[in-house]
Structure 1
Amino acid sequence: MMDEFEAIRPYADAEVPAVMARLFANPEFLDILAHFRFPRLAGPMGWALKPLIAQRLRREFAGIDSVDTLQARIEMYLDRTIERATDGVTYSGVEGLQPGCAYLFLANHRDIVMDPAFVNYAVFQARMRTPRIAIGDNLLQRPFVSDLMRLNKSFIVRRSITGRREKLAAYQVLSAYINHSIRNDGESIWIAQAEGRAKDGDDRTDSAILKMLHMSCKDEPFSQALSALRPTPVSISYEYDPCDQAKARELYIRATTGGYSKAPGEDDTSIALGITGYKGRVHVSFGTPITQVPDDPKLLAAEIDRQILCDYRLFPVNYLAYSIWDDRDPNLPVPTLEELFSEAEIARAQAEWGKRLAACPSVQQPYLIQQYATPVRNQHRIKAGLPL
């Protein structure tokens, strides 16, 4: 790997054993695992549990000397997480991808860790190489988190830089790295369609990200440079979002005070809840790779949006939320729940949705409703040929 990418690239195979040894000796990492596996004992018995956990990890991951073998081992844990925290995961469109071909997966973004994990899982099941994953440096405050993510093919997007020139230089390196990955290394890339999660359920592609991808290939027209990356929209839908209450609270605070500052450890809580919290059904849809890229980044963003929003799997809860949403469009032709779903499905959704509404303070409820209702409006606007 070229030296210019040293600070942001994922770890190479040769680095795996040393990084894993460093992780298994990290007290913070072992502490989190102790709390996760033995929540009651971790406090009083942490001193005794941590060496045992470290020993078990060393035994379980002994002999792993490449990223691929590590991912194959992690797949077993992901299977278990999927069983525990979902009512099943389905995929569509993955059969349209060519093995041995590298793609730029541009995805809607709802969950920090699970979005790329589910995409990885689908690609892995299809016997294709898993993508390299873009992750913001704001999530990598602690060295062990950075080690964990870079072991699992993540590369770093330096979002915390403030100076204009430094930002420009960082984006230039990022652009070069993504282009080098796909064009030279033949490795796919997963990147969110916009910075941060769409906490209000409104999935939109930021054309600035598409311009960034062109920065390192200015000698080629935009359409030609982006075509070489095979941009492929990916839409992920969670029936229920484990972080929906926290998102509603943040949106309410932003709306009423004009800003929101995260508490220390808030991202860690979101990550843990996103992994372990109940999601209901999950659907990941791979769109059609865009071969005819327009020369205008805004037109490319519109095509990515069209695919992501049309491929988004709407569940009964989305229509339940839409029916009580103050911002719903009375002129928009939206089918009724009864036309789309069985009685049993509707009854199950009403019970779960009722629980979620009841757990949400009344002033924050409009923001909870908005998260689930917005995808209904967006999809049916596109289907009716209306502007978003």
Structure 2
Amino acid sequence: MFDDIRPYRNDEVATVIKKLINEPALQSSIASIKLPSIHKTVPKLAQLIVKMYLKVRSRKVNSIDDIQQEVAKYLYHLIETSCTNFSYNGIDKIDPNKPSLFISNHRDIVLDVAFVNLALYQSGITTVEAAVGDNLLNQPWVSDLMRLNKSFIVKRSEKTKRAMLTASKNLSSYIHHTLSESKQNIWIAQREGRAKDGIDKTNSALISMLLLNKGKERNIAEYLEELNIIPVAISYEFDPCDRDKARELAAKEATGEYIKSENEDFDSITRGLVGKKGHVHIEFCDPILGDFEDSKAIAQAIDTKIIANYKLYDSNQKAYDVLNNTPVSTEENPLNNRLQQLTKEQRQWLLTMYANPVFAKESLKS
């Protein structure tokens, strides 16, 4: 059931890991991060070292929980090397005995759900199954890797409207089944693609997809009780990919389009993982419960909670001040170094992406 989209099970771990260890593309990817000098000069040797390393580490990995513990170790290392602080709040709003559908804003391809998972893991709450779009799974080994780490597939590349509707119905059914029958927490981003401009807005089509499995005879309030949607506000003091996002937004504004390079998504994942992020904060909000008129009303309720609970940093406030022509000295602006070597248009976009959360909070007051 749901075999084409579900995460792998414990009885599939050994076979998938064996296949991954022997995957040259994965070996090369890890070598480029962990052994950059050797990989550049003697790539085959670097791949061999990675393969041997993976073989040794895999001897202790026999289940999905084992994989999650390995991921947690890597996350702790990442936080120590790329974050000045990691904090979270609102755990008391989560009933550990009732599965939750966490819907968060989306800033980083991998780390958004990773930080949510870490907060849950440290609090003794079951980690999530995470939604990942098939547009990011351009290689079979990437799909295998994600499904080993409790990810399920969101099909976005179906060719016809009928196929897309079928895929959406299947996904809606899978999410409800996983929450109600498997008693497993789920995470999904509030929209497809990262909020590169800093505007966190839930796509109502996502909510419509979730309601496809409801059935006409049931009311929205009853179904929301079963889904137990908990909005999550994820706040990064600094975005390691901010300059790339600014260049993309400026290019789209100037020409109407932006064409990704072949390895751009992978490069963004890598930069997001290792780049300096400053303080990262996770805020779990109150569940979305009650009667709503439609998907748009539910999406708006999620947005309100995420915006209200988003943690603002000096980086956000200073960008807001600059855009509002409030005098800010170079020494006072934490974004100063990030603005270097960008065009005027690109600098404007970088400031805008940091300032937009402030604008959003201001709009809630009006």
Bin of the TM-score, shorter chain as denominator length: over 0.9
The question of 1:154 aligning with 2:151 is answered: yes
Match for 2:344: what amino acid?
S
Alpha-carbon shift at residue 260 of structure 1 (Å): 1.7
**Offset from partner CA, 1:214-254 (integer Å, 9 cap, x none):** 11222422332222100100000100000101111111111
Alpha-carbon shift at residue 259 of structure 1 (Å): 1.7
Corresponding residue number in structure 1 for 2:268: 270
Q: After superposing the two structures, state which structure 1 stretch, 295-304 or 242-251, moved more.
A: 295-304
Which one of 101, 106, 113 corresponds to residue 98 of structure 2? 101
The question of 1:145 aligning with 2:127 is answered: no
- Hey, what's the Cα distance between the residues in 2 that align with 1:57 and 1:174? 33
Corresponding residue number in structure 1 for 2:236: 238
Corresponding residue number in structure 1 for 2:176: 179
Q: After superposing the two structures, state which structure 1 stretch, 96-105 or 304-313, moved more.
A: 96-105
Which one of 76, 83, 104 corresponds to residue 86 of structure 1? 83
The question of 1:201 aligning with 2:198 is answered: yes
The question of 1:367 aligning with 2:365 is answered: no
Corresponding residue number in structure 2 for 1:311: 309
Corresponding residue number in structure 2 for 1:128: 125
Query: Are the aligned partners of 1:221 and 1:295 in contact in 2 as well (CA < 8 Å)?
Result: no
The question of 1:77 aligning with 2:59 is answered: no
| Alpha-carbon spacing, 1:132–1:356, altered in 2? closer, same or farther (3 Å) | same
| Alpha-carbon spacing, 1:109–1:316, altered in 2? closer, same or farther (3 Å) | same
Query: Are the aligned partners of 2:221 and 2:289 in contact in 1 as well (CA < 8 Å)?
Result: no
Query: Are the aligned partners of 2:128 and 2:150 in contact in 1 as well (CA < 8 Å)?
Result: yes
- Hey, what's the Cα distance between the residues in 2 that align with 1:165 and 1:291? 31
Alpha-carbon shift at residue 360 of structure 1 (Å): 2.0
| Alpha-carbon spacing, 1:236–1:44, altered in 2? closer, same or farther (3 Å) | same
- TM-score with structure 1 setting the length: 0.90
- Hey, what's the Cα distance between the residues in 2 that align with 1:41 and 1:312? 42
- Hey, what's the Cα distance between the residues in 2 that align with 1:171 and 1:290? 22
| Alpha-carbon spacing, 1:221–1:348, altered in 2? closer, same or farther (3 Å) | farther
Query: Are the aligned partners of 2:137 and 2:143 in contact in 1 as well (CA < 8 Å)?
Result: yes
- Hey, what's the Cα distance between the residues in 2 that align with 1:377 and 1:48? 51
Mapping of 1:59-78 within 5 angstroms? 59-78=56-75
The question of 1:252 aligning with 2:233 is answered: no
Query: Are the aligned partners of 2:104 and 2:231 in contact in 1 as well (CA < 8 Å)?
Result: yes
- The number of residue pairs the alignment matches comes to 365
Query: Are the aligned partners of 1:317 and 1:353 in contact in 2 as well (CA < 8 Å)?
Result: yes
- TM-score with structure 2 setting the length: 0.96
**Offset from partner CA, 1:172-199 (integer Å, 9 cap, x none):** 1110110111011111110111111111
Q: Identity over the aligned pairs, expressed in percent?
A: 39
Query: Are the aligned partners of 1:107 and 1:308 in contact in 2 as well (CA < 8 Å)?
Result: yes
Alpha-carbon shift at residue 293 of structure 1 (Å): 4.2
- Hey, what's the Cα distance between the residues in 2 that align with 1:349 and 1:316? 9
Match for 1:205: what amino acid?
T
Q: Secondary structure at the match of 1:105?
A: strand
Cα root mean square deviation, aligned:
1.8
Please, which runs of 5 or more residues in structure 1 have no aligned partner?
A: 331-335, 338-345
Corresponding residue number in structure 2 for 1:376: 358
Corresponding residue number in structure 2 for 1:341: none
Q: After superposing the two structures, state which structure 1 stretch, 290-299 or 141-150, moved more.
A: 290-299
| Alpha-carbon spacing, 1:80–1:348, altered in 2? closer, same or farther (3 Å) | farther
| Alpha-carbon spacing, 1:205–1:261, altered in 2? closer, same or farther (3 Å) | same
The question of 1:11 aligning with 2:8 is answered: yes
Query: Are the aligned partners of 1:321 and 1:369 in contact in 2 as well (CA < 8 Å)?
Result: yes
Q: Secondary structure at the match of 2:261?
A: coil
Which one of 286, 289, 292 corresponds to residue 291 of structure 1? 289
The question of 1:47 aligning with 2:44 is answered: yes
| Alpha-carbon spacing, 1:133–1:348, altered in 2? closer, same or farther (3 Å) | farther
Corresponding residue number in structure 2 for 1:342: none
Query: Are the aligned partners of 1:85 and 1:280 in contact in 2 as well (CA < 8 Å)?
Result: yes
Superposition misfits of 4+ residues, deviation over 4 angstroms:
346-349
Query: Are the aligned partners of 2:8 and 2:148 in contact in 1 as well (CA < 8 Å)?
Result: yes
